[in-house]
Structure formats: C-alpha cells, structure tokens
C-alpha cells in the first residue's frame, strides 16, 4: 500500500489483518491518532525519495521474508510512485506513462478529444491574458483549474472576461504557494481553462479488465451552494436506470482506454448534460472521502479491501443490488475559521434518518477556510437515508444543521 492516510491504514489493519505492507510518509505517522501497525507491516520513508524508498523496501522485504503480491494506492500524489514500484517488482498495475496521462488534466483532455470522448472545450493557459482571451472567444462561463490538482481545490468558475483575468492571477498564486506539494509539481506555471458545462455531476467507481467494464458504485453529487465552486456537499447512491444513463459501461471503457489504461480499478467524475455524458477526470484509484464508508454501510461493499483483491487478481465477490432507498454520504464543513471549542453530534444521533456519524476533527483543532486551506474546514461526514420528502438538497441542509460546532475566531 503506497502512501495512504492513517485512517485507511487503520481500516485495513482491522479488515485485512496481516495482508498489507504500508509505505507511509513519516509525517502521516507522527500526526496519526490511530495506533501504528506492527514493525513488520509498515515502512516509514519520505515518498519523494525514490532511491531511499527502493533501498528501504528491499531491506524490509529481506528482513521479514516478505513477498509482494500486488501494489495498491489510494492517493493521487502517490500513484506515480506506485506505478514505478510495480514495474520494479513486476506486479500488475497501470503503467508509469498511463498514470502521467491521468494525472495531467490537459493531457487527459487532449487524449479524449483525439479519440472522440466528450469533454469540455479546453485550453492550456499560462497567463491572465490567455484566460480572458479564451472566455471572450467562447462567449460562455469558464472553469479554471490546476493541471495536476485533485477535487475542488483551486477550481474556480468565471462568468466574465474580467473575472477570468482576476481569477487566473489568483490561481497562479495559489499554485505557486503549493509548488512543493507533490500534487502540484507537475505544472506550476500554467493551468487549464475549460468551458462550463451545465449538467448533473456524478462520481463512479468501475473495474476495467479484459476490455470489459463493471460498475461498482454510482453516486450523484449534490453541490454546496454557499461554498467554493465545485465543493461536493453530498453523494447520493443511485443507478444508471434511475438516472437515465445509457451505455455508460461502453463510455467508461472508451474513456479509460484513451488514457492508456487496460486493467485498472478507476474513479471517474462526469456530467450528464441533457443526454450526453461529459468526462471531467478519470484516475486509477477508488473514490475516497466518505465513499468507502457509504458503500460499506449501505451495500456491504468494502472498497478498500476490494482494491486489494483486484491488485492480487483475486475474483471480486460483490453483494447483490445496492439498496433501493436513497443512501446519502453528507460531507460536513465548518462555516468560519478559528479554533474548535466544542463539537456535538447529539442531535444528529437522535435523527432517525442518520445511520452513522464520522468526525475527523476535535476540540482544539484549527480551521482555515478555502482558498487558503481546503482540508481543515472539512469536519467529517454523516451517512443517512432519505426521508419521504423528495428534496434531497433540503434534507442535506436539515441534517447538516444538526451538527453543533463552536468555533472561536483567532486573533488577527
């Protein structure tokens, strides 16, 4: 397991005991609240030091008489390292080149365009002038994003030419501020600008192998209305039939193969615009965030353990159809910056719709809001089942308000 978080390590220690060797960044271990694995099960090494990693891994395998049977990675910034190690040990995994293509949004979009896979019209931009010129030419709202980022971090919508200019300058500053982060080292002097496409956004996990696709998870995204553009408020488990998605497996296979993938467990974000599927991002890893918890609770699918099975080429044994009722993974965010002085889930736990609450923050933690920080404002998630009323967004708001958080502003 290459470079994952301490909560995922704890998950697999409990649900795949004795099966995984973790390659972990020392900082992750220092900040972890969960217990560490046994010495045999973890290598602590900086994940940018390839030479040191090769030596540490070779020595560890020899010391403990371990034979590797597969490579797994859940973190976007570590996918390239995972591919490199897979090639070193002749293990099944996407190639280094396919990972490079997937993690570069400009290259991904270019590949899709060349192979007639629908994606928003786009351009690689290097200045505010480039952004303004693109917006003026297409005459529609635009989205600006880093070439190699992930999620909604530093993703902005611009409706006007002047807005594109201002936002492009802020985006380039944000990328420069993060240039030492492994996610942003691919391209620090440019960004992607693309047309804004109206539609309903979905997130999906699927397996590609033997030129066939099997969908493991389909969720409709509920966007946060009063948060940075692109922020996902909730995921709603759904099906292709319920959403009117036709031939999705064929489209997923075409999109993945266009990026050089032939066998992979993938996560993809796409829009349904009218009846057209528009691809945004595809990465050879399963969806993270609250999604593994949602799938385990709602459908008894352990996506983290399933990823291990796939890596070892074991047969994937999945339960029957997903539950008919609407299961929701609701993400909880702080509404202001400061220090957390109190956080209560009492009202949440009394709501009959709520099935599980998972918080990752506690008293004393500091909260900083986007665009300065996209991590600390995320408090955790709630899993709940929709009530009889039809308005999903309204129910998400109702449930979110049941979390009581006291945040004390910091002195300037």
Q: Is residue 109 part of a domain?
A: no
pLDDT of residue 15: 92
Closest CA to 1 of 18, 28, 17, 20: 20
Phi, psi (5° rounding) for residue 220?
Answer: -90, 135
Question: How many residues are given for the chain?
Answer: 412
Compute how many other C-beta atoms are within 10 angstroms of the C-beta atom of residue 342. Answer: 10
Residue 220 inside a domain? The answer is yes
> Computed from CA positions of residues 88, 36, 286, 311, in that sequence, does the dihedral angle turn out positive or negative?
positive
Whether 32 contacts 11, CB under 8 Å: no
Q: Which domain holds residue 301?
A: 200-408
- In-domain check, residue 248: yes
Pairing of strands 200-209, 212-223: antiparallel
The DSSP annotation for 165-228 comes to: HHHHHHHHHHHHHTTTSTTTSS-SS-EEEEE---SEEEEEEEEEETTEEEEEEEEEEEEPTTSS
pLDDT in tens, 375-408: 899 999 999 999 887 689 999 999 999 999 999 9
> 176 falls in which pLDDT band (50, 70, 90)?
confident
Is the domain of 185 the same as that of 289? no
* 253 and 388 assigned to the same domain: yes
- Domain match, 85 and 154 both: no
Do 154 and 254 lie in a common domain?
no
Identify whether residues 135 and 237 lie together within a single domain. no
Residues 78 and 212 in one domain: no
Q: Which residue from 371, 370, 377 is spatially nearest to 340, judged by alpha carbons?
A: 377
Phi and psi for 51 in degrees, rounded to 5? -60, -45
| Domain termination site, one of 51, 66, 99 | 99
| Same domain membership, residue 278 and residue 188 | no
Q: For the chain, what is the domain count? A: 3
Q: Do 81 and 3 meet the contact criterion of CB atoms below 8 Å apart?
A: yes
Indicate if 227 and 88 belong to the same structural domain. Answer: no
Domain harbouring 221, CATH code? 3.30.470.20
Q: Which of 37-46, 236-245, 311-320 has the lowest average pLDDT?
A: 311-320
User: Nearest 5°: CA angle at 201, between 195 and 206?
Assistant: 115
Answer whether 193's CB lies under 8 Å from 131's CB.
yes
pLDDT at 113: 96
Model pLDDT for residues 265-295, shown as the tens digit of each residue: 999 999 999 999 999 999 999 999 899 999 9
Does a structural domain hold residue 107?
no
Cα distance between residue 356 and residue 35, in whole Å: 22
pLDDT value at residue 412 = 57
How many whole angstroms separate alpha carbon 412 and alpha carbon 392?
38
Which of 139, 171, 195 marks a domain boundary? 195
Residue 370 to residue 373: CA distance in whole angstroms: 5
User: End of a domain among 155, 180, 195?
Assistant: 195
DSSP secondary structure code for residue 2 in this structure: B
Examine the domain organization and report whether 229 and 295 are in the same domain: yes
Please count the other Cβ atoms lying within 10 Å of the Cβ belonging to residue 136.
11
Report the alpha-carbon distance of residue 303 to residue 286 in Å, rounded: 7
Number of H helices, E strands in the chain: 14, 17
Tell me the CB-side half-sphere exposure of residue 273, using CA atoms within 13 A.
13
- Considering the domain architecture, whether residues 180 and 235 belong to the same structural domain is answered as no
Whether 17 and 147 map to the same domain: the answer is no
Q: Does residue 114 belong to any structural domain of this protein?
A: no
Paired with 378 in beta bridges are 333
Residues 330 and 404 in one domain: yes
- The DSSP secondary-structure symbol of 358 reads E
Q: 289 in a domain, yes or no?
A: yes
The enclosing domain of 153 has a CATH number of: 3.30.1490.20
pLDDT in tens, 304-356: 999 999 999 998 877 665 666 689 999 999 999 999 999 999 999 999 999 99
Q: What is the DSSP secondary structure assignment for residue 142, as one 8-state letter?
A: E
- Domain contains 337: yes
Distance of CA 212 to the CA centre of its chain: 23
Judge whether 110 lies within some domain: no
For 146-173, what is each residue's pLDDT tens digit?
Answer: 998 787 888 999 999 998 999 999 989 8
Summarised one tens digit per residue, pLDDT across range 124-140 is 999 999 999 999 999 99
Contact (Cβ atoms closer than 8 angstroms) between residue 145 and residue 174: no
């Amino acid at each position: 397991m290459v470079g994952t978080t301490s909560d995922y390590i704890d998950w697999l220690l409990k649900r795949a005991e004795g099966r995984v060797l973790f390659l972990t960044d020392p900082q992750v271990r220092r900040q972890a609240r969960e217990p560490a694995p046994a010495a045999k099960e973890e290598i602590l090494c900086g994940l940018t030091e390839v030479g040191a990693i090769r030596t540490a891994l070779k020595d560890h395998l020899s010391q403990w008489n371990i034979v590797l049977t597969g490579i797994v990675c859940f973190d976007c910034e570590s996918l390239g390292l995972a591919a490199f190690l897979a090639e070193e040990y002749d293990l099944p995994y996407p190639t280094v080149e396919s990972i490079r293509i997937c993690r570069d949004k400009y290259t991904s979009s270019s590949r899709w365009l060349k192979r007639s896979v629908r994606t928003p019209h786009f351009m690689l931009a290097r200045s505010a002038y480039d952004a303004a010129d693109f917006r003026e030419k297409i005459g529609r709202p635009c989205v600006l994003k880093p070439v190699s980022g992930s999620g909604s971090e530093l993703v902005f919508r611009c409706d006007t030419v002047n807005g594109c200019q201002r936002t492009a300058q802020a985006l380039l500053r944000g990328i420069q501020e993060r240039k030492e982060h492994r996610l942003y080292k691919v391209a620090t002097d440019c960004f992607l600008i693309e047309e804004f496409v109206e539609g309903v956004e979905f997130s999906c996990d699927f397996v590609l192998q033997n030129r066939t696709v099997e969908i493991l998870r389909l969720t409709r995204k509920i966007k946060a209305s009063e948060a940075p553009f692109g922020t996902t408020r909730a995921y709603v488990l759904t099906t292709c039939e319920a959403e009117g998605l036709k031939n999705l497996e064929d489209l997923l296979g075409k999109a993945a193969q266009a990026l050089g993938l032939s066998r992979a467990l993938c996560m993809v974000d796409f829009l349904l615009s009218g009846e057209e599927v528009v691809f945004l991002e595809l990465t050879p890893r399963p969806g993270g965030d609250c999604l593994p918890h949602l799938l385990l609770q709602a459908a008894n699918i352990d996506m983290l353990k399933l990823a291990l099975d796939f890596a070892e080429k074991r047969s994937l044994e999945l339960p029957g159809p997903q539950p008919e009722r609407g299961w929701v993974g609701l993400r909880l965010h702080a509404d202001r910056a400061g220090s957390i002085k109190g956080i209560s889930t009492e009202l949440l736990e009394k709501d009959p719709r709520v099935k599980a609450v998972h918080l990752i923050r506690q008293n004393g933690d500091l909260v900083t809001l986007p665009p300065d920080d996209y991590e600390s404002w995320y408090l955790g998630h709630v899993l709940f089942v929709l009530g009889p009323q039809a308005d999903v967004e309204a129910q998400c708001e109702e449930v979110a308000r049941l979390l009581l958080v006291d945040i004390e502003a910091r002195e300037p």
